[in-house]
Amino acid sequence: MTRCAGILILFLSHIAVIPSHASEVLVYDITRLSSSTSRTIPLMSGQRVTFQQPVPRGGRVLFKDWMPRANWTHRATYEMLSPDSRVLESLEARFPPAGLGKSTPLISGKAISSRLVTNADFKLDTFQGTMKVKDPKHFYAVLINGAGNDRHWNDLSFLYRVLTQIYGYDPANIFAADSNYIKEHADFDGDGRPDILYETTLSGVRDLMHQLAKTITPEDQLVVAVDDHGGLNLSGDVVIALADDLMTAGEFGKLITNIPAKRVLSIFEPCFSGGLVRPVVSEQRVAMAAAANNESSWQTADDMWDAFIFPVISGFARQLPDGTPIAIGSGDPIQVNAKQAFIYALGMDTAAESPFLEAAPNSGFATTIGLGF
């Protein structure tokens, strides 16, 4: 691995306006995901629900999403129907089914339309290189999409381009992990080379963070970006949803604190992401989150981004993805600090969430750290 001087931790989002139909319930027919001989339905991140009886011949299984524009976890219902559509069993859960794709029949509610962004969506101003870091070997980034959707990939693609094109990060020092898109769409910036090289399984994330702990030195700075789903486990611990399991905020925090970087900037997008902040902050480490540790985070009204991290990235870029400039700090192309990016995002995020910024001993240190310093 190439040595580098910076670590940043991020969970992604977008300028969020919660649409009037945000409370609409979406109902899917997931019978194809069940088996006539099994009572168990696999869910996201290795979770499952189990009925008392197998699905009867001619019966159906329905999945109800009660907060369709919120990130997971939130209320979900699984119903087993008889051949004549009577409800035989109903189970409550906090995760969607594994394998829920765009081809799954939607039998009630309006489909949420989303797509991956393309090269044509980006026209970033690079400010003639005036915002590039002076010594790229000292700047690292970790981008994690544990069990996310198209919008999470979009956020990370935007961030990757900002880091490489505006701030001049060495792509070799950006470590992207995403099991959902590693086989397809592993190229964030359209240059024909894969940028996602790591899995977001429990063992994959652990191995990656242990590798970074051996590579990064006290001379380096790190940015870790996590754009994902989150929630609580059965013990009441805040967790992030990985491809095959859940990881607690406590464990993830230890993985970050064990990396001996000089400074760390963490940005968290998942639901309940406030619970991820306290384990990673110190005098030299700043963290921001999309939501408190007891609330959901949301996507944007256009379904393309997440409501908090998108304006955070835009703030650091001093522009929207299409190159439209935004007013933040000085009008000159100078590097943006974490507090400025957070304040901009706070003003643009109108979702039903409570973003916050924290550092020890106070948030004033957020003025002394950004993507490039």
Task: List pLDDT tens digits, range 210-252.
Answer: 999 999 999 999 999 999 999 998 889 999 999 999 999 999 9
Q: How far apart are CA 304 and CA 311, in angstroms?
A: 13
Statement to judge: residues 54 and 185 lie in one domain: no
Statement to judge: residues 84 and 144 lie in one domain: no
Q: For residue 24, what pLDDT is reported?
A: 85
Q: For residue 18, what pLDDT is reported?
A: 37
Helix (H, G, I), strand (E, B), or coil: what is residue 161?
helix
Question: Rounded to a whole number, what is the distance in angstroms from the first to the last CA of the chain?
Answer: 21
Q: For residue 17, what pLDDT is reported?
A: 37
Which region among 196-210, 298-312, 323-337 has the lowest average model confidence (pLDDT)?
Answer: 323-337
CB 155 within 8 A of CB 14: yes
Residue 139 CA from chain centroid, whole number: 21
Q: Examine residue 132 and state whether it is found in any structural domain, yes or no.
A: yes
Share of the chain above pLDDT 70, in %: 93
Task: List pLDDT tens digits, range 86-96.
Answer: 999 999 999 99
Domain tally for the chain? 2
Relative orientation angle of helices 249-257 and 202-215, to the nearest 10 degrees: 20
Q: Examine residue 102 and state whether it is found in any structural domain, yes or no.
A: yes
Statement to judge: residues 343 and 247 lie in one domain: yes
CB 187 within 8 A of CB 171: no
Query: Can the peptide bond before residue 105 be classed as cis, meaning omega within 30 degrees of 0?
Result: no
Q: Examine residue 225 and state whether it is found in any structural domain, yes or no.
A: yes
Domain boundary among 48, 78, 108: 108
* Cα–Cα distance list, 230 to 9, 98, 102, 347, 350 (Å): 15, 15, 22, 24, 20
Statement to judge: residues 181 and 262 lie in one domain: yes
CB 81 within 8 A of CB 87: yes
Statement to judge: residues 341 and 237 lie in one domain: yes
Statement to judge: residues 165 and 33 lie in one domain: no
Residue 58 has pLDDT above 80, yes or no: yes
Q: For residue 138, what pLDDT is reported?
A: 98
CB 32 within 8 A of CB 200: no
Statement to judge: residues 230 and 349 lie in one domain: yes
Domain boundary among 56, 82, 108: 108
Residue 40 has pLDDT above 60, yes or no: yes
Statement to judge: residues 147 and 205 lie in one domain: yes
Please report the DSSP string for 53-69 in residue order: SPPPTT-EEEEEESSTT
Q: How far apart are CA 75 and CA 112, in angstroms?
A: 17
CATH number where 271 lies: 3.40.50.1460
Mean pLDDT of 319-325: 97
Domain boundary among 73, 108, 143: 108
Statement to judge: residues 104 and 126 lie in one domain: no
Q: For residue 22, what pLDDT is reported?
A: 47
Statement to judge: residues 155 and 212 lie in one domain: yes
Q: For residue 270, what pLDDT is reported?
A: 97
Q: For residue 23, what pLDDT is reported?
A: 55
pLDDT level of residue 330 (50, 70, 90 thresholds): confident
Task: List pLDDT tens digits, range 70-116.
Answer: 999 999 999 999 999 999 999 999 999 998 888 899 999 988 888 99
Amino acid at 36: S
Statement to judge: residues 151 and 83 lie in one domain: no
Identify the domain containing residue 103 by its residue range.
26-108
Q: For residue 114, what pLDDT is reported?
A: 86
Q: Examine residue 1 and state whether it is found in any structural domain, yes or no.
A: no
Residue 187: exposure state from Cβ atoms within 10 A (0-12, 13-18, ≥19): middle
Residue 2 has pLDDT above 60, yes or no: no
For residue 348, the 8-state DSSP code is H
Q: Examine residue 113 and state whether it is found in any structural domain, yes or no.
A: no
Q: Examine residue 373 and state whether it is found in any structural domain, yes or no.
A: no
Which region among 3-17, 29-43, 53-67, 314-328 has the lowest average model confidence (pLDDT)?
Answer: 3-17
Task: List pLDDT tens digits, range 333-344.
Answer: 788 999 999 999
Statement to judge: residues 35 and 12 lie in one domain: no
Mean pLDDT of 180-195: 96
